[in-house]
Amino acid sequence: MSARLVPPSGRQPDGPAADDETPHTPLRPLWSCRADGQHWPCREARLRLTAEFDGNPSGLTIYLASMFCEAAQDIHHLDPSNGPSPRELFDRFVGWVRKGKPPDRQAV
């Protein structure tokens, strides 16, 4: 049994949206964005997560590290031999969180 971290908004990362807009949340087990089909966290998800965790980069890193662990399990289960490397997944989920480097200025 694994514990699930909930972002400050209180909504689960793969839960329903509160409005009609398609949320930039992960579609599991593929871990693609529900809204734009890009790898999650997509650029918009990164911007929103940065805003939600404003002033708490450690909290954001911990949250994303937990998502990284769940994604690694899901993705490996889907295709153990052809999925992204652990380093690629780490960079995708956690590596972009750097002080002074907003997600809108980084390549996704």
19-31 pLDDT tens trace: 558 999 999 999 9
How remote is the C-alpha of 103 from its chain's centroid? 13
Phi-psi region of 6 (alpha: psi -120 to 50; beta: other; left: phi over 0): beta
pTM: 0.73
Spatial CA neighbour of 96 closest among 71, 70, 61, 58: 61
The Cα 69–Cα 93 span in angstroms is 9
Which pLDDT tens digit goes with each residue over 30-78? Answer: 999 999 999 999 999 999 999 999 989 999 999 999 999 999 999 999 9
How would residue 103 be classed by pLDDT, with cut points 50, 70 and 90? low
Mean pLDDT computed over 71-87: 93
Instruction: Please report the sign of the dihedral spanned by the C-alpha atoms of residue 78, residue 84, residue 87, residue 90.
Output: negative
State the chain's mean pLDDT as an integer. Answer: 83
